[in-house]
Every structure is written in C-alpha cells, then in structure tokens.
Structure 1
Amino acid sequence: MKLRSTDALLVIDPQNDFCEGGALAVQGGAGIMLLINRLAECFDTVIATQDWHTPDQISFASNHEGAAPFTEIEVAYGPQMLWPDHCLQGTPGADFHPDVAHAVVKALAVVRKGYSPAVDSYSGFFENDHSTATGLAGLLRDRGVTRVFLCGLAYDYCVRFTAEDAVREGFEAVVIEDACRAIAEETAAAAKASFEALGVGEIAAERLL
C-alpha cells in the first residue's frame, strides 16, 4: 500500500500497564513495540495516545464497593466496563513501554485521555460520554490528514473505539492488525465485525514496510 503525505499513524496506548507484568496486561503487548517503531519510520505524522487516570477514576473496580474487575455497570453516560487500577498519572505503569521509545520520540503530539475521574476514555477522539473531545480531530485536520492508520493496545477497546470515531469524524481508518493485540477473543470478534460495518480497513504491517 502506498502511503501519502496526508496519512498519519496513531499509536494507541503503548504503555507499561498494558504489557506483560502490567496491571492490565494484554497478552503479547510488549511484542508489538519494535514493529510499531518500524511503522513510525514510514509516516510523516505520528501521534500517540496515553491513558492518564486519577486514583478515583470511575472505571476502576476498586472505586465501587463489592464490584469485580471485568464486570459492567451503568453510569451516567451508559455502560462502563470496570477495570483493575491502571495507568495512574505519573506512575511507571502509565509510562510508555521502553521498546516503543523511537515512535514516541517521533510523535508530533501525545494525546492524554481518561484524566477526568467522572468519565473513562477509550477513544483517542472522545471520552466515553461520546461528546467530550480530546482535540485529536482538530490536530489531524490542521495537519491536512485524511487517512489514519492505527496500531497499539488494545485492539478490542482503545484501538477499536479510536478507529470507529475516526470514521465518524470523516477520516479514512485502517487498522494494522498484527501491530495490535486484543484482550479477549469475543471482544476482538466484535471489533472486527464493527470495522466491517463501518468501513474500517485492516491490513498487515508488511504492506507498509
């Protein structure tokens, strides 16, 4: 696939807590970091996202008496999955994985999300209330970007929601499937079905390298 100057690479949450040994580890997460570095070399515009939570984040199971991680509750903005505490602001778990340092250094910007205690944020474009914008869409438009390629963690949550919102914001979206890892097979299948319905493309990294 031929890349254009109007393309951007979105590197989604390549953080320690989502890699092996982290608080919310995604199996194989660390293994994609060097591939993401190689992909970043191919793009003029690279942007990273970063979960940046406070201890009282609404999505932490520890903040709901008797609730267990990986169960769903209803909050003001709709259904919300509960997670183990992760990516706390200023902690090593919130830091970018060291193996992805090259891509992060190249990044034009780091979009921090999920820093409001009252609302979680999967998408790089909007918080989970689907109305509070992060500013990513405006940044991409200012750069003249029309197509985004996505990689990172996790395929079935933050990559998925970012890709879906990219299409809704008028961008073409392509997920680099082997440069992502998923939390669970069931939610990965749901993400793939959503991509097909919305016209989100999926390709292998080798087509870009």
Structure 2
Amino acid sequence: MKTLFHELCAESAIGQVSQIRLNQLLALAAEENIPAAERDKGKTLFLAIDMQNDFMEHGELGVPGSHQDVLRAARFLYDHMEKITQVAVSLDTHQPQQIFHPSWWIDEAGQHPAPFTIITEEDVRSGKWRAVRHPEESLAYVSHLAQHSKKELCIWPYHCLEGSFGAALEGQFANMVYFHSVVRQSAPIRIVKGKDPLTEMYGIIKPEFGPGDEASHAFLESLRAYERIFIAGEAKSHCVLESLRQILDYFGEDKDMTSRIVVLADCMSSIPGFEASTEETFAAWQDAYEITVTRSTDYRW
C-alpha cells in the first residue's frame, strides 16, 4: 500500500481536476486488506475543514501554503489509514448574493466594495455603505458583531459558489477521502455550511449570528464517540479557528473531551495578516483546554 500514495495524490495536480478516475481509484482501494472501521476498538476522527478548490493557492480566495497543507494532510490520512475510523469534511457553500460578498453593498456613488473591505456598524449608520437588500437585517448583523466582539464584517471575493469547481473538495484530497472510505468501509461525514445569506459562517457548528445552530448539536455530541479527533483545513485563521472555538466552547471544562483534539499545525495555513493573533489563540487553547498542537510528521500514536 505504501507505494500507492503518489498515484492517489499528485502534488502537481493539487487545485486542479483530478486525472485519476474514481472507478480506477476505488478498484485500487478494494484490493487493500485492512479491517473495516467498525472493528476499531478506539475510534478516531479526521476532520478536514473547508479543503476546497477556492481555498487552494490559485483559487478565488487562495490561502498561501494550502497546497503543502493538502499534501501533508493526505499523507497523514494515507499513512495512518488503518487507525483512522472516519473522515468528516466541511464544505463552505455560498451564492453571489450574501452579506459578505460585494454585490450586497453599495457606497454613495453606487459602487460595490472591493474584496477585503471592512464594513462596520458606523459605516452602515453613516451611509458610507448601504445594503442593497435586507437593510434592517444587515444593520442588525454588523451591530451584533460589534456588540459581541466578533470579527468585523469582511467583504470576501466571491468564493465557493454552490455547484462551481471552486466549491468542490480539492481533488487530490478527495481521492484520499474516498480511498479511505472504501478501504475502511466507512462513509465520510459531510458538513455543508454558509448558505444563510444574512450571516457569515466561519465555524462548522453555527453561524456568526442568527438561527441555525441547533441542528449541529448532534454532530458535537457525536464527537464523544472518538478517542482522538484530528483537525486540518483552511484557513487556520478563520474557519479552522472558529470551528475549534465552537467545539471548545461546547465542551467547556470537560478536559476529557477537549484533550482528545489534535491540531495538525502543518496541515493548515492562515490568511496573511492574521498569523500572529492566530498563533496566540492556539497557544492559549493548549493551556486552557489541553488540546495538542503538533506537526503531522511528529504525532506519535
């Protein structure tokens, strides 16, 4: 099995259409002789957050370093396939008309904001930026962010539009997810997030503001079944960070649960400009919640 990795995950093809056909891939998987996941005595989850084409280096919202992140995450999944019970993937999924995309807002001259523009409550109240649709709800949203000390509203480039290539799970990583699924006879878990037009949703559990978090409690409770929960994905500074924050907030002082979390730090990268604050937050969580932050090549079972 160890000789197959480069057939399943070609570094040069990361962020592009996969050249290996799924039926060819899964035929190779069917030849492996590894026990089914249901026989695992201690269950392990590999949680990959938003490893999608648009977050690859040449995607619409490319994260520098993401190609190597994918390569290392796929390698970890491949090398430890017999120990990883199940894989969960989250998929950021949007439409053009959402509160964090340019088309939602115009200025006094009728121009849409450029990507990475920050829109504050003061900007909306003063008329610097006006919501084209749902103006009252849009003001309530930026007000809520300010009141609860959350990230300010950032206008992102259009990304992960539903049904587009950019929204799809990155192809080389997807190869490894499906290879694992057939080898271990374990269906991957899919978490679709970000469809509500009136809120951002960085974390996989709930949006920044508004209804919709109740259904995710089932996923949170399902984490209790795993002795180890490995986390990888993009971007470390945003969707990975907020997903982990929501998980840690839910389990709170239950160190038995939070200490099961292993962050694969070399399988995720931050959006430029957010590196320092992100590292400070992860370091604080190591102390407060006893999570493990390590490199994929350094982890010892």
Alpha-carbon offset, residue 176 of structure 1: 0.7
* Alignment partners' CA distance in 2, 1:179 and 1:29: 8
* Alignment partners' CA distance in 1, 2:279 and 2:296: 17
* Alignment partners' CA distance in 2, 1:103 and 1:169: 30
* Alignment partners' CA distance in 1, 2:76 and 2:57: 22
Q: Does residue 177 of structure 1 match 2:265? A: yes
The corresponding residue for 1:97 is 170
**Is the deviation greater in 75-84 or in 138-147?**
138-147
The corresponding residue for 1:194 is 281
**More helix per residue:** 2
The corresponding residue for 2:299 is 208
* Alignment partners' CA distance in 2, 1:137 and 1:149: 19
* Alignment partners' CA distance in 2, 1:179 and 1:134: 29
* Alignment partners' CA distance in 2, 1:112 and 1:88: 12
CA change 1:140–1:191 in 2 (3 A) is same
The corresponding residue for 1:15 is 52
Contact between 1:50 and 1:94, CA under 8 Å: does it hold in 2? Answer: yes
* Paired residue secondary structure (2:115): coil
* Paired residue secondary structure (1:178): helix
User: Could you tell me which amino acid in structure 2 is paired with residue 145 of structure 1?
Assistant: Y
The corresponding residue for 1:117 is 197
Contact between 1:46 and 1:103, CA under 8 Å: does it hold in 2? Answer: no
Alpha-carbon offset, residue 202 of structure 1: 1.2
CA change 1:6–1:85 in 2 (3 A) is same
1:145 to 212, 219, 226: 226
* Alignment partners' CA distance in 2, 1:11 and 1:140: 15
The corresponding residue for 1:128 is 208
* Alignment partners' CA distance in 1, 2:215 and 2:46: 16
Contact between 1:39 and 1:208, CA under 8 Å: does it hold in 2? Answer: no
The corresponding residue for 2:235 is 154
User: Could you tell me which amino acid in structure 1 is paired with residue 105 of structure 2?
Assistant: H
Runs of 4+ in 1 over 6 A off after TM superposition: none
User: Could you tell me which amino acid in structure 1 is paired with residue 162 of structure 2?
Assistant: Q
Alpha-carbon offset, residue 98 of structure 1: 0.9
The corresponding residue for 2:116 is 70
1:165 to 246, 251, 255: 246
CA change 1:29–1:134 in 2 (3 A) is farther
TM-score, normalising length: structure 1 = 0.87
* Alignment partners' CA distance in 2, 1:201 and 1:31: 21
Q: Name stretches of at least 5 consecutive residues in structure 2 with no aligned partner.
A: 1-40, 107-111, 121-137, 146-151, 182-186, 252-256
Give the count of matched residue pairs.
205
Alpha-carbon offset, residue 18 of structure 1: 0.6
CA change 1:43–1:208 in 2 (3 A) is farther
Contact between 2:64 and 2:271, CA under 8 Å: does it hold in 1? Answer: yes
**More strand per residue:** 1
Alpha-carbon offset, residue 198 of structure 1: 2.8
Root-mean-square deviation (Å): 2.3
